[in-house]
Amino acid sequence: MSSPRPARTLKSPDDLIAAGLVAPWRRGELAAVAARYAIALTPAVARLIEKGDPADPIARQYVPDARELIHDPGEDPDPIGDALKSPVRGVVRRYRDRALVKLVSVCAVYCRFCFRREMVGPGAGALSETDFAAALDYIRARPEIWEVVLTGGDPLALSARRLAETTRALAAIPHVKVLRWHTRLPVAAPERVTKAMTEALTRGHDKTVFVALHANHPRELTQPARAACRRLIDGGVAMVSQSVLLRGVNDDADTLEALMRAFVETRVKPYYLHHGDLAPGTAHLRTSIAEGQALMAELRRRLSGLALPTYSLDIPGAHGKVPIGPAYIARRPDGGYDVADPEGIARRYEDRVAKDETRR
């Protein structure tokens, strides 16, 4: 059974022990992790944890673990190379037509696998007015920037007033056509996704607004979380999903299938299934790429294209994000192709292109 809802966000080992989510003998271990990485479990998230289950997939995402202090030499405090692609403070530019703006460094919850775990936490604050003005100048001066991704931390942690100001400023740039907000808030604190928030994102401009919802387990798509998405969507926001493939959380086909179906039923299009980034102390939560590819092949057998995310890897060193399979097509020595059908059986295919047709 899930526990009664705690009244406030749990932020320390003592809070977790008092809520019955961690045994008292683990206090020292958790304190060592808490000294390095932030802890926050909102009431909505804490309530989802099955107290008696040591392998609970929700606890695994949010409750600290001593293994977070074991750092693999291949891990990196900046695993996707934000700093290498930051032309001005708070802005990351990896692709020609997009810019990321990191508005805040705080979140409603802190995920144990966070790829920005060395940068986020309480007290890390928000982009200053001066820095935001510089970010606007940077975007304004580059007409090729078509989409602005608002991220952090969790940018929806800002007040409706700040969200409206940010939206107004970005929407006033004529070449910016799409505003995309990355958030966990509908899952972490659905009650904070209000009509006022939706209006702050959508009112007074004609830009396209996307919200990318981060959730990793179907149990996170509670009725209040779905209602929060409904408020956003009915208010004019389009939604996509982001999930991270995590060992012991969603690294089985049944869980991933249920998660993707839950997204679609909530009118959230499955977008990315991220391979776990090389963030420090997260090896115990990562899978191998081969495991991820096998899971994607199984999902393709089970799900319509509407419910299939793209399995992707953010290449370390700021080299960008790419789909990582599985591959369904291979060139044959005779110039044709072997194409694997959803059951994995190779089917031969040859291009049939009119030889005298010239490309116009």
Report how far residue 53's alpha carbon sits from residue 48's, in angstroms, rounded to the nearest whole number. 12
Report the 10 Å Cβ neighbour count for 144: 10
Residue that the structure tokens 């940010």 belong to: 166
Stretch of 111-119, 139-147, 251-259, 299-307 contacting ligand SF4, by CB under 6 A: 111-119
Give the three-class secondary structure for 345: coil
Stretch of 75-83, 146-154, 275-283, 350-358 contacting ligand SF4, by CB under 6 A: 146-154
CA 213 to each of CA 118, 220, 335, 349: distance values in angstroms, whole numbers, following the listed order: 22, 11, 43, 38
Residue 14 buriedness (CB in 10 A; 0-12 / 13-18 / 19+): middle
User: Pick from 102, 116, 180, 217: which binds ligand SF4 (CB under 6 A)?
Assistant: 116
**Could you tell me whether strands 238-244 and 208-214 are parallel, antiparallel, or unpaired per DSSP bridges?**
parallel
Stretch of 27-35, 105-113, 329-337, 343-351 contacting ligand SF4, by CB under 6 A: 105-113
Quick check: 212 binds ligand SF4 (CB under 6 A)? Answer: no
Residue 114 among the catalytic residues? yes
Residue 269 among the catalytic residues? no
User: Pick from 37, 110, 181, 311: which binds ligand SF4 (CB under 6 A)?
Assistant: 110
Of 149, 238, 167, the C-alpha closest to 204 is 167
Give me the catalytic one of 94, 140, 162, 247: 94
Quick check: 120 binds ligand SF4 (CB under 6 A)? Answer: yes
Report the 10 Å Cβ neighbour count for 15: 18
Q: Which is nearer to ligand SF4, 99 or 171 (CB)?
A: 99
Stretch of 8-16, 47-55, 110-118, 224-232 contacting ligand SF4, by CB under 6 A: 110-118
Report how far residue 199's alpha carbon sits from residue 193's, in angstroms, rounded to the nearest whole number. 11
Report how far residue 351's alpha carbon sits from residue 360's, in angstroms, rounded to the nearest whole number. 19
Q: Which is nearer to ligand SF4, 62 or 311 (CB)?
A: 62
Give me the catalytic one of 27, 89, 93, 95: 95
- Which residues are marked as active site? 94-95, 98, 107, 111, 114, 116, 277, 314, 321
Point out which residues bind ligand SF4 (CB under 6 A).
107, 109-111, 114, 116, 120, 152-154, 184, 214
